[in-house]
Amino acid sequence: MQLTPDDTILLTFFGIGLNATIVNTWIIMALLTGVSALITRNLRPDVPPNRWRTALEVMVGGIVGQISEVTQRRDPRILYFVGTLFLFIVTANLLTVVPGFDTPTASLSTTAALAISVLVAVPVFGIGSRGLGGYLKTYVQPSVVMLPFNVISEVSRGISLAIRLYGNIMSGAVIAAILLSIAPFFFPVLMDMLGLLTGVIQAYIFAILATVYIATATAAPDAHQDKKDMS
Amino acid sequence: MSIDWITVGAQIVNFLVLVWLLKRFLYRPILDGIDAREAEITARMGEAAQIEAAAQQQKAEYEERIEALQASRAETLEAARQEAEKERNAMLTEARRQMDHEQAERAAQRAEDARAFRAELQKSAAEALLSLTRKALTDLADETLERRIVARAAARLPEVTDRLRGDAKQAVALTRDPLPEEVRAHLRDALDAVAPGAALSFETDPVRSPGLSLTLGSVQVDWTIGDYLEDLEAMLDESTNGVSAGDPRDAG
């Protein structure tokens, strides 16, 4: 029994194997991009919105609203990053119900890649907001003694992001496979339904935690201190 | 559970590409569309606010004009009523004046008609009375009217003799028609009896009433049929008035 789609090699180019994680990621990327391009291709002010466009507007508006609630400001760069995280993860998690589709989020490589992206994005947004000195100063607050603890905190929360998402999705897929072998008619359906709910929740948790980390890094010094005091 | 770092790198690249793709095909178009629609809604709401403000201003102006019209309505109605009353009085006065004028004209016309009718009637009655009298005298007494008139005048001459003074030298007999010669001789004889030597001349006046008017100095002896006609007219008027007063249709 394979626990990760990384082990499933679908194609080989010039001696480099393309596993199911990468290929399925491309499928999800094509699906998201294609649907978005298809719906927004005739998006002009003089064309009345249809139901698909309205659905996209509701979805994007919901993401913007959640980000605005956390960051208390409207930054489109955070929307691009966090919104893409959420849409990719939720789409991948929902596709677990498709038979034979190995979702990429069940791969620790994928979740690690996403966690690394968040780990890199947080200082990038922080430096972009506060400048390099202002961001690095946050690691020695409230005193220099806290520097190693702050660094460990940054790394550990990235690891926790990766492990949490991978564990939830991989465990759901493994449990579904086990139940499919034991009681193939009833329990897998229930587990898939539960997996859909869990997948959406995990996507929300991953995205909202990334938003919180970015908001903490980009907040004003006073607000940053207040958030640390509250935590 | 293992991490394939090549896959990790590929997934990071894939994720960054997906960020760019969704930014290009999803977020930008949707956000731009929302912003454009919000801007359009804001512009339309601004236009609507301007239109509403203009409408409110027009409404206020119309209400003010309506209030002014209502305020001046009573004054206008009172002025129009007074003007109409004045015009009505003027028209009534003019109508009464015109009616009085027409009544006066009709009354004058009726009076003129009555006078003409009366003159014509008097003339016809005189002719008839003269004719009847002449015929009656001829039939009953073998006399002519002219002889009887002259005889009447001659009979009255002695009554006026004492009023004659020294100027009774010229006498004038005035009749409507020329008198026969024998009648003239009779009158001359009668005059000689009361005024010897007085010259008598005969004159005619076609418009006067039949009869004789004898002027002797300052004394005048008349007998004309007009006196009888006046009496006859008075009798006719009295009879007519009596009939008119006794007619129940007139009374009613």
ipTM of the complex: 0.85
The reported pLDDT for the residue numbered B129 is 80
The CA distance from B152 to B145, in Å, is 10
Cα of B49 to nearest chain A Cα, Å: 22
CB within 8 Å: B7 and A83: no
At residue B19 the predicted structure's pLDDT band, cuts being 50, 70 and 90, is very high
Q: Could you read off the pLDDT tens digit of each residue along chain A, which spans 231 residues? A: 566 777 777 778 777 778 888 999 999 999 999 999 998 887 776 777 788 888 988 999 999 999 999 988 778 899 999 999 999 999 998 998 888 888 898 888 888 899 889 888 988 998 888 888 888 888 887 888 888 888 888 888 778 877 777 777 777 767 777 777 777 777 777 777 887 888 898 899 889 989 988 888 887 655 444 444 443
Fill in the amino acid letter for A112. Answer: A
Cα of A22 to nearest chain B Cα, Å: 7
The reported pLDDT for the residue numbered A41 is 85
User: What's the whole-number mean pLDDT along residues B2-25?
Assistant: 91
Residue B138 has pLDDT above 80, yes or no: yes
Q: Which of A21, A84, A116 to mutate to test the interface with B (most CBs of B within 10 A)?
A: A84
Alpha carbons within 13 A on the beta-carbon side of A225 = 8
Residue B251 has pLDDT above 50, yes or no: no
In the numeric block, the tokens 């201003």 are attached to: B57
Q: What are phi and psi of A142, to 5 degrees?
A: -75, -10
Residue of B nearest to A7 (CA): B4
The reported pLDDT for the residue numbered A225 is 47
At residue B246 the predicted structure's pLDDT band, cuts being 50, 70 and 90, is low
The CA distance from B100 to B97, in Å, is 5
Residue B85 has pLDDT above 90, yes or no: yes
Read off the pLDDT of residues A179-217 as tens digits, 9 standing for 90 and up: 777 777 777 777 778 878 888 988 998 899 899 888 888
Residue B21 has pLDDT above 80, yes or no: yes
Residue of A nearest to B5 (CA): A109
CB within 8 Å: B25 and A88: no
Read off the pLDDT of residues B179-197 as tens digits, 9 standing for 90 and up: 888 888 888 888 888 878 8
Burial group, residue B97, by CB count within 10 angstroms (0-12, 13-18, 19+): exposed
Please state whether A10 falls in left (phi above 0), alpha (psi between -120 and 50) or beta: alpha
- How large a percentage of chain B has pLDDT more than 70? 93
CB within 8 Å: A6 and B37: no
Read off the pLDDT of residues A14-43 as tens digits, 9 standing for 90 and up: 777 788 889 999 999 999 999 999 988 877
Cα of A117 to nearest chain B Cα, Å: 7
At residue B242 the predicted structure's pLDDT band, cuts being 50, 70 and 90, is low
- Tell me, what DSSP letter sits at residue B166? T
CB within 8 Å: A36 and B22: yes
At residue B83 the predicted structure's pLDDT band, cuts being 50, 70 and 90, is very high
Nearest to A21 by CA among A1, A5, A3: A5
Residue of A nearest to B3 (CA): A109
The reported pLDDT for the residue numbered B38 is 87
| Dihedral angle of Cα A77, A83, A86, A89, to the nearest 10 degrees | -80
Report the sign of the C-alpha dihedral through residues B1, B5, B10, B11, in that order.
positive
Burial group, residue A56, by CB count within 10 angstroms (0-12, 13-18, 19+): buried
- Summarize chain A as % helix, strand, coil (round to 5): 80, 5, 15
Spell out which residues of chain B touch residue A16, defining contact as CB-CB under 8 Å. Answer: 6
Contacts for A202 with CB less than 8 Å, ≥ 6 apart: A89, A93, A164, A165, A168, A169
The reported pLDDT for the residue numbered A220 is 61
Spell out which residues of chain A touch residue B21, defining contact as CB-CB under 8 Å. Answer: 29, 32-33, 36
Listing DSSP states for B66-135 in one string gives HHHHHHHHHHHHHHHHHHHHHHHHHHHHHHHHHHHHHHHHHHHHHHHHHHHHHHHHHHHHHHHHHHHHHH
Rg of chain A over all Cα atoms, to the nearest angstrom:
20
End-to-end CA distance of chain B: 142
The CA distance from A78 to B18, in Å, is 14
- Tell me, what DSSP letter sits at residue B26? I
Q: Which residue would you say has higher pLDDT here, B21 or A165? A: B21
- How large a percentage of chain B has pLDDT more than 90? 32
Whether residue A27 lies within 8 A of chain B, CB to CB, comes out as no
The rounded Cα A61 to chain-centroid distance in angstroms is: 18
Are A116 and B3 within 8 A, CB to CB? Answer: no
CB within 8 Å: B30 and A83: no
Whether residue A107 lies within 8 A of chain B, CB to CB, comes out as yes
Spell out which residues of chain A touch residue B11, defining contact as CB-CB under 8 Å. Answer: 21-22, 25, 104, 109-110, 113-114
Q: Residue A221, preceding bond cis, omega within 30 degrees?
A: no
Nearest to A126 by CA among A22, A215, A228: A215
Question: What number of C-beta contacts closer than 8 Å exist between A and B?
Answer: 115
| Average pLDDT of chain B, as a whole number | 85
Read off the pLDDT of residues B149-172 as tens digits, 9 standing for 90 and up: 888 888 888 887 777 666 667 888
Please tell me whether residue A116 adopts helix, strand or coil conformation.
Answer: helix
Cα of A114 to nearest chain B Cα, Å: 7
Whether residue B54 lies within 8 A of chain A, CB to CB, comes out as no
Q: Which of B1, B7, B17, B31 to mutate to test the interface with A (most CBs of A within 10 A)?
A: B7
Cα of B51 to nearest chain A Cα, Å: 23
Q: Which residue would you say has higher pLDDT here, A94 or B118? A: A94
The CA distance from A178 to A194, in Å, is 15
The CA distance from A71 to A64, in Å, is 10
